[in-house]
Amino acid sequence: MKVYGLIGYPLGHSFSKKYFSEKFLKEKVNDSRYENYPLDDINKLTAVINDNPDLRGLNVTIPYKQDVIAFLSEMDVTAETIGAVNCIKIYRDGEHPRLKGYNTDVIGFRESLLNMIGNERPRALVFGTGGASKAVLYGLKELGIDYKVVSRKKREEIVSYDDVTEETIKEFKLLINTTPLGTFPETQESVEIPYDAVTNEHFLYDLVYNPAETEFLRKGRIKGAMVKNGYEMLILQAEAGYKIFCE
């Protein structure tokens, strides 16, 4: 029996086990199953790999998309360029397991965003600097979209939330939240920006998918903006991960 799974912490919010289990059933893949591996310390990954000899692949979620790189044997070009991994294929054809990292977040984000903005290429504000943000920035570059990154601390090429004024919002029509703010159960949280400057010319994209409408998206919707959560991105990146597992 081939085993696949998810690492991260916590994993109560994750949809992966249900999705992949149903995918295996639908595709009649009878020799595979999917498990969750909640790790409160990334260093426990080695034990997971060694203690589960049938493990052939892992998805990676918050907060380990960057930390997991230290455990890999290799990465594909996209993951190496981005500097974040959310999918690992495990090869056991030698004495020691060989782990190869991929980033399917960029595939999911790019295709999902295109379904929202079509041929438009508005300038983007990207909130957050974690592993998911790195995939978003890579996708924006691929689409030729100019962007600015916003974080709590101002540093080289990154502005702080204090720098985001109403004029900034008017200039950047695509607002993307890559932070976990607003995720269940802390649903009242959102990035602190001047939402009064949001108009019906804006697009608000939130990588959070639980709840379906975050506070970030709600504030955009009531100002007339087009809004979208991260569920379609999640599906698209999972489909890409499934292909990697089964190839």
Residue 65 among the catalytic residues: yes
pLDDT at 19 over 90: yes
Write down the pLDDT at residue 156: 87
Q: Which two tokens stand for residue 226?
A: 């087009």
pLDDT mean over 93-120:
96
Confidence grade of residue 14 (pLDDT, cut at 50, 70, 90): confident
State the catalytic residue, choosing from 23, 65, 134, 148.
65
pLDDT mean over 87-115:
96
**Average pLDDT of the chain, as a whole number:** 96
Write down the pLDDT at residue 12: 77
| Extended strands (E) in the chain | 2-8, 32-38, 55-60, 74-75, 87-91, 98-102, 124-127, 147-151, 158-160, 174-177, 203-206, 226-228
Residue closest to 103 by CA, chosen among 130, 131, 142:
131
pLDDT at 13 over 80: no
> In this predicted model, what pLDDT tens digit does every residue of 56-78 receive, in sequence order?
999 999 899 999 999 999 999 99
% the chain with pLDDT above 70: 100
